[in-house]
Amino acid sequence: MLKIFMSQHDSIRAVEWKDNHLVLLDQRKLPHNEQFVQLYSAEDTAEAIRNMVVRGAPAIGIAAAYAVVMAARKSYKQYPSDWRNRLEAEIETLRNARPTAVNLMWALKRMCAEVENVQGDPEEPLLALAQRLHQEDIDANYRMGELGSALIEPSHSVLTHCNTGSLATGGYGTALGVIRSAYSSGKIEHVYADETRPWWQGSRLTAWELAKDKIPAHLLCDGAAAHLMKQGKVSWVIVGSDRIAANGDVANKIGTYSLAVNARYHGVKLMVVAPTSTIDLGTASGDDIPIEERPQEEVLNVATQRIAAHHTQAWNPAFDVTPASLVDALVTEKGVVEHPSAEKIAALMTS
């Protein structure tokens, strides 16, 4: 049974294994409805990832790891002597659920290695591994919280983008984990959170997490960020990542690149917080990172209300790439890399 430690500023778990199945907090319904979805198959989990019931790079990876447990259980029951081969199609469906967050592929790779190793009934060993990946992610977030917090001078305010908290991870969060740790130790006084168009991860999810943990915050329109920086109200922009290329380029929620350019112009520092499971040495640079494009309705409508004029078309890339040269600090559970480069990332990954 996974025993999860939670601190004073850490009150949410969005992905959980209960008895024999996966339970996800439905992030499409937040903040006004806290509804849970019960999942018993890999196909349904892939659908939940595609539809954003669960989102955020590490959370997607953890959900997929638990989905492999359910797929293997079914396959072993139906085809005890050929269960590994029968599993492949479901793993492929999971792998294709969303293209940008490499934590999904990373978690499936770790699960597949165990699939090759196990003898006999695979459920118990695969569940043990999925739970270990889940716990490792939480531990990494607490470690990154300490390391990132140490970079912040006392009594500062920071700006964050998208949702990088407990909802986006196994628990605690990456960028929001640093913010939680820095607030707990009195370093951060106030948080500014971008609303994060078009899916409103900031308004619906980050603001909800901050309010639950009683961390003082203001929400702002994405377009207000440069004005905030110009007024000297923030000293750091702190964000997560969905994939970091071998040269240190960072894919993250659309709008991160604009923040990075604006931050450099205004003398505000950019901190990227991500576990090493987000670093993809197989992707040479940001140009090689696949960027998901989501349905135009997410831009044309707000919830079910049509906002744009009829016959308008929209372009909806879900992520963008910030060049490594705009990153002041990359915080991972293995350590902090200042001004990341291919050489520094290679050294971190072999340390």
201 labelled binding-site residue: yes
- Which one, of 314, 184, 325, lies nearest residue 263 by Cα? 325
Q: Is 188 helix (H, G, I), strand (E, B) or coil?
A: strand
Sign of CA dihedral 214, 9, 106, 30: negative
Catalytic-role residue among 213, 242, 320, 328: 242
Sheet holding 250-253, edge to edge: 279-280, 243-245, 250-253, 319-322
Sheet holding 329-332, edge to edge: 217-220, 188-194, 156-160, 236-239, 269-273, 329-332, 335-338
Residue span 316-335 as binding mask against ligand MRU, x where in contact by CB under 6 A, dash where not: --x-----------------
Window of 143-151, 185-193, 239-247, 299-307 that interacts with ligand MRU by CB under 6 A: 239-247
- The answer to whether residue 181 forms part of the interface with ligand MRU (CB under 6 A) is no
Window of 12-20, 30-38, 50-58, 69-77 that interacts with ligand MRU by CB under 6 A: 50-58
Q: For the chain, how far is it from start to end, CA to CA, in angstroms?
A: 31
- The answer to whether residue 252 forms part of the interface with ligand MRU (CB under 6 A) is yes
Cα distance between residue 149 and residue 128, in whole Å = 31
- The answer to whether residue 240 forms part of the interface with ligand MRU (CB under 6 A) is yes
Q: State the residue for tokens 């078009």.
A: 198
Q: How far is the CB of 241 from ligand MRU (least distance, A)?
A: 6
Position among 14, 168, 193, 330 found at the interface with ligand MRU (CB under 6 A)? 168
Window of 40-48, 167-175, 299-307, 342-350 that interacts with ligand MRU by CB under 6 A: 167-175
Position among 13, 16, 56, 64 found at the interface with ligand MRU (CB under 6 A)? 56
Residue 265 in contact with residue 287, Cβ under 8 Å?
A: no
- The answer to whether residue 286 forms part of the interface with ligand MRU (CB under 6 A) is no
- Which one, of 220, 238, 202, 166, lies nearest residue 11 by Cα? 166
Position among 55, 73, 110, 187 found at the interface with ligand MRU (CB under 6 A)? 55
Q: How far is the CB of 351 from ligand MRU (least distance, A)?
A: 22
Give whichever of 162 and 289 is closer to ligand MRU, judged by the CB atom: 162
The packing angle between helices 83-95 and 42-50, to 10°, is: 10
Q: For 20, phi and psi rounded to 5 degrees?
A: -125, 20
Give whichever of 83 and 192 is closer to ligand MRU, judged by the CB atom: 192
Window of 51-59, 87-95, 106-114, 149-157 that interacts with ligand MRU by CB under 6 A: 51-59
Q: State the residue for tokens 């990088």.
A: 164
Sign of CA dihedral 16, 30, 48, 143: negative
Position among 45, 93, 160, 169 found at the interface with ligand MRU (CB under 6 A)? 169
57 labelled binding-site residue: yes
Position among 131, 160, 164, 206 found at the interface with ligand MRU (CB under 6 A)? 164
Q: Rounded to 5 degrees, what angle do the CA atoms 164, 220, 266 make?
A: 85
Q: Is 199 helix (H, G, I), strand (E, B) or coil?
A: coil
- Amino acid identity, residue 314? A
Give whichever of 75 and 169 is closer to ligand MRU, judged by the CB atom: 169
Q: Is 63 helix (H, G, I), strand (E, B) or coil?
A: helix
The reply to whether 242 belongs to the active site is yes
Instruction: Note the residues at the interface with ligand MRU (CB under 6 A).
Output: 55-58, 101, 162, 164, 168-169, 174, 201, 240-242, 252-253, 318
Residues designated catalytic: 242
